[in-house]
Chains A and B, each alone.
Chain A
């Protein structure tokens, strides 16, 4: 059985760091479900959020191997109960005069937003946890999804503590 884990990595923003992280996953046989990267509140430090699915391998091996990368500063697993995770998604859906209103209804229901409209399609943006995004996609599917772009999950722990505390020199 495969299990999914959401890991947050603080890394030095050095050339090749993304390659090093991604290659490690590939080399050790771990599957990346999603990956998101960006800069953080600290200059020179980036944050990688990665969802990894493991087939029986212990998560501990993954984090230990990642920790061996010289440019990796800190790794935490964010658990569902104590953190918030969001996916961002852009979906281009086929519409015509007969289906548009149904699509717009779904948009309202899921608190998504329409950001572009043409005669035969709309572009919708939606933010939420993975389950909500997947449910929304299910609803849109019958109309015809022409294009789908997903950011990958990003996540942060609840409360006032920051992941970068104690990491930075």
Chain B
């Protein structure tokens, strides 16, 4: 094999190039400087200089979530590395394929409390899929290739590589491809035929099945297969917060999101179902509510690529370990064989579900204070932008409304922080998504609170010509916190006021802030200006756009199942439980 003498740093850049990585988000410092030098000469790797390493991490996540490819971020040792921690934890919770590269002090200084030394491998052990410390240059190609493999295969997740400075500087004979030696890493993608057969039998015996679809279907790129399965069965579908877009919202079989802020039809269908066909979903407590009373009458088929997810929260009658796409295709074939010419009859089930859909559609009431209704603003952004756009959100009320009131028609169009619930995700994730998918319209729908955690990346966007659109749903408060205080703490608003609204001291003034960052920034307070503002944002592509939408602060997210109680107690609106028919 032909070899070439390279430094560890050159080998790192070369390995990334050879693996097909085209973009890295990062910020240099002493311990990673050797790597930044050859990075400057790379023709294949675009480095985007962020303003905070957390931004690099979320940008890598947004890049990955929008494209399905590996997202890569780079930081120096010590504080640079610890600034990545939140984004790594976020990627871990939401199964995002990510590679985090950090510099480390010289290997002979490790353990001496050297300048900017932090044990980042130790710190991130519980929040990475795996991690490596590299102390020798010659190990670099093998480790980088292994990290790529681990991050992107099986259940995706973040992998961290910590490169000691002397490993970056050392010289060795580089050759490619390296031998990847991972005897303990054998993800199962092909399911047992017997289990698929059992699943098909259970499905054909059920009267009230529901497809409970999770983020795994998006990671598996199995939306097309899911559509075929759903239509073959004519069964209802619910998509978790992480799976919005995995099944078209316009489809008549779609019931919407399940869980704490799910639709009444989706929540109720799960409760009344006799069979959950669970695909790449993990029975999160935000979905199940009180687990003991969740879908009590249902048997469970559970498909997941991670065996540890199966039976973790809820017993599976038919466990299937495998890739969702492979499993769905096999299941379709098996069902067709078992069904012959007959179709399962879910007529009564649909009569019930259609009744729910008619009686309990998503809705909202106009705010009393005459301000904009946040749901309306978000709905218009979705309608005017269309399903080809990408929407990234922060965490809070605006996130829930974005999940509810935008109609998603395709996977990878909805990016958010579901498992960790990281405020500050939206702006950098939108930036990463726009870099991955430059031809798509990319919105960050952010809260006034979240926006203040990572808006510094607007500088990165302006300077690197990444024209994202930011819609701040400005309710002048930590709205989700305020909602809980209204409902559960006697309206005592302890530390949830942000003073960013028009009738406050407005610190900061988001329009001035946006302008300072070189964005087109405007404020919208009247309903008749909403559409024009959105259209202006869509037409402006020479710089990022910030729209400060001043919305009512008392708007609440409905429906809601209060935390920890049974999903049977779903509230359609404040003090308004759905009314069940006498025979229920």
Q: Measuring CB to CB, which residues of chain A are less than 8 angstroms from any residue of chain B?
A: 11-12, 15-16, 19-20, 23, 27, 58, 60-61, 64-65, 67-73, 167-169
Q: List 7 A-B contacts (CB under 8 A).
A: A12-B184, A19-B122, A58-B311, A68-B308, A70-B150, A70-B185, A71-B184
- Known contacts A58-B311, A64-B307, A168-B183; A70 and B125 CB within 8 A of each other: no
Does the CB pair B125–A61 fall under 8 Å? Answer: no
Considering only CB atoms, which chain B residue lies closest to A71 in the complex? B184
Contacting residues, chain B, for A168 (C-beta < 8 A) = 183
For B172-187 the 0/1 string (1 means CB < 8 A from A) is 0000000000111100
Q: Measuring CB to CB, which residues of chain B are less than 8 angstroms from any residue of chain A?
A: 121-122, 125-126, 129-130, 133, 150, 182-185, 306-308, 311-312
Does the CB pair A15–B150 fall under 8 Å? Answer: no
Taken together as a complex, chains A and B put the C-alpha atoms of A26 and B130 apart, in Å, by 17
Does the CB pair A67–B307 fall under 8 Å? Answer: yes
Nearest-CB distance from A163 to chain B (Å)?
Answer: 14
Contacting residues, chain B, for A60 (C-beta < 8 A) = 311
Contacting residues, chain B, for A72 (C-beta < 8 A) = 184
Does the CB pair A70–B182 fall under 8 Å? Answer: yes
Label chain A's interface by main secondary structure. mixed
Does the CB pair A23–B184 fall under 8 Å? Answer: no
Does the CB pair A70–B312 fall under 8 Å? Answer: no
Does the CB pair A27–B126 fall under 8 Å? Answer: yes
- Known contacts A16-B121, A61-B308; A73 and B126 CB within 8 A of each other: no
Contacting residues, chain B, for A71 (C-beta < 8 A) = 184
Considering only CB atoms, which chain B residue lies closest to A65 in the complex? B308
Considering only CB atoms, which chain B residue lies closest to A15 in the complex? B133
Contacting residues, chain A, for B307 (C-beta < 8 A) = 64, 67
Does the CB pair A64–B183 fall under 8 Å? Answer: no
Considering only CB atoms, which chain B residue lies closest to A69 in the complex? B184
Given contacts A16-B125, A16-B133, list 12 more A-B pairs with CB under 8 A. A12-B184, A15-B133, A16-B121, A19-B125, A60-B311, A61-B311, A70-B150, A70-B182, A71-B184, A72-B184, A73-B183, A169-B183
Nearest-CB distance from A100 to chain B (Å)?
Answer: 47
Does the CB pair A23–B125 fall under 8 Å? Answer: yes
Taken together as a complex, chains A and B put the C-alpha atoms of A20 and B124 apart, in Å, by 11
Taken together as a complex, chains A and B put the C-alpha atoms of A49 and B150 apart, in Å, by 26
Taking a contact as CB atoms closer than 8 A, the residue among A27, A61, A65, A73 that contacts B184 in the complex is A73
Nearest-CB distance from B315 to chain A (Å)?
Answer: 10
Closest 4 A/B residue pairs (Cβ): A64-B308, A70-B130, A73-B184, A70-B185
Considering only CB atoms, which chain B residue lies closest to A58 in the complex? B311
Contacting residues, chain B, for A169 (C-beta < 8 A) = 183
Contacting residues, chain B, for A58 (C-beta < 8 A) = 311
Taken together as a complex, chains A and B put the C-alpha atoms of A23 and B129 apart, in Å, by 14
Nearest-CB distance from A46 to chain B (Å)?
Answer: 12
Nearest-CB distance from B136 to chain A (Å)?
Answer: 12
Taken together as a complex, chains A and B put the C-alpha atoms of A12 and B132 apart, in Å, by 14
Nearest-CB distance from B88 to chain A (Å)?
Answer: 15
Does the CB pair A23–B306 fall under 8 Å? Answer: no
Taken together as a complex, chains A and B put the C-alpha atoms of A61 and B133 apart, in Å, by 28
Nearest-CB distance from A18 to chain B (Å)?
Answer: 12
Nearest-CB distance from B124 to chain A (Å)?
Answer: 11
Does the CB pair B125–A167 fall under 8 Å? Answer: no
Taken together as a complex, chains A and B put the C-alpha atoms of A72 and B121 apart, in Å, by 17
Taken together as a complex, chains A and B put the C-alpha atoms of A31 and B491 apart, in Å, by 42
Taken together as a complex, chains A and B put the C-alpha atoms of A168 and B183 apart, in Å, by 8
Contacting residues, chain A, for B182 (C-beta < 8 A) = 70
Does the CB pair B126–A23 fall under 8 Å? Answer: yes
Nearest-CB distance from B178 to chain A (Å)?
Answer: 16
Taken together as a complex, chains A and B put the C-alpha atoms of A27 and B185 apart, in Å, by 21
Does the CB pair A12–B183 fall under 8 Å? Answer: yes
Does the CB pair B133–A68 fall under 8 Å? Answer: no
Considering only CB atoms, which chain B residue lies closest to A11 in the complex? B184
Nearest-CB distance from A30 to chain B (Å)?
Answer: 13
Does the CB pair B126–A167 fall under 8 Å? Answer: no
Contacting residues, chain A, for B306 (C-beta < 8 A) = 68
Contacting residues, chain A, for B122 (C-beta < 8 A) = 16, 19
Taken together as a complex, chains A and B put the C-alpha atoms of A15 and B139 apart, in Å, by 14
Nearest-CB distance from B182 to chain A (Å)?
Answer: 7
Taken together as a complex, chains A and B put the C-alpha atoms of A11 and B184 apart, in Å, by 8
Taken together as a complex, chains A and B put the C-alpha atoms of A153 and B520 apart, in Å, by 68
Contacting residues, chain A, for B311 (C-beta < 8 A) = 58, 60-61
Nearest-CB distance from A96 to chain B (Å)?
Answer: 47
Considering only CB atoms, which chain A residue lies closest to B185 in the complex? A70
- Known contacts A61-B308, A61-B312, A64-B307; A70 and B126 CB within 8 A of each other: no
Nearest-CB distance from B425 to chain A (Å)?
Answer: 24
Nearest-CB distance from B549 to chain A (Å)?
Answer: 41
Considering only CB atoms, which chain B residue lies closest to A61 in the complex? B312
Taken together as a complex, chains A and B put the C-alpha atoms of A60 and B315 apart, in Å, by 12
Considering only CB atoms, which chain A residue lies closest to B130 in the complex? A70
Most buried by A among B122, B182, B307: B307
Considering only CB atoms, which chain A residue lies closest to B157 in the complex? A68
Taken together as a complex, chains A and B put the C-alpha atoms of A16 and B125 apart, in Å, by 9
Considering only CB atoms, which chain B residue lies closest to A12 in the complex? B184
Taken together as a complex, chains A and B put the C-alpha atoms of A64 and B307 apart, in Å, by 7
Most buried by B among A27, A60, A72, A168: A60
Contacting residues, chain B, for A23 (C-beta < 8 A) = 125-126
Considering only CB atoms, which chain B residue lies closest to A14 in the complex? B132
Most buried by A among B125, B183, B311: B183
Most buried by B among A61, A70, A169: A70
Contacting residues, chain B, for A12 (C-beta < 8 A) = 183-184
Taken together as a complex, chains A and B put the C-alpha atoms of A64 and B126 apart, in Å, by 15
Contacting residues, chain B, for A19 (C-beta < 8 A) = 122, 125
Contacting residues, chain A, for B184 (C-beta < 8 A) = 11-12, 69-73
Taken together as a complex, chains A and B put the C-alpha atoms of A11 and B185 apart, in Å, by 12
Contacting residues, chain B, for A69 (C-beta < 8 A) = 184
Contacting residues, chain B, for A73 (C-beta < 8 A) = 183-184
Taken together as a complex, chains A and B put the C-alpha atoms of A167 and B184 apart, in Å, by 9
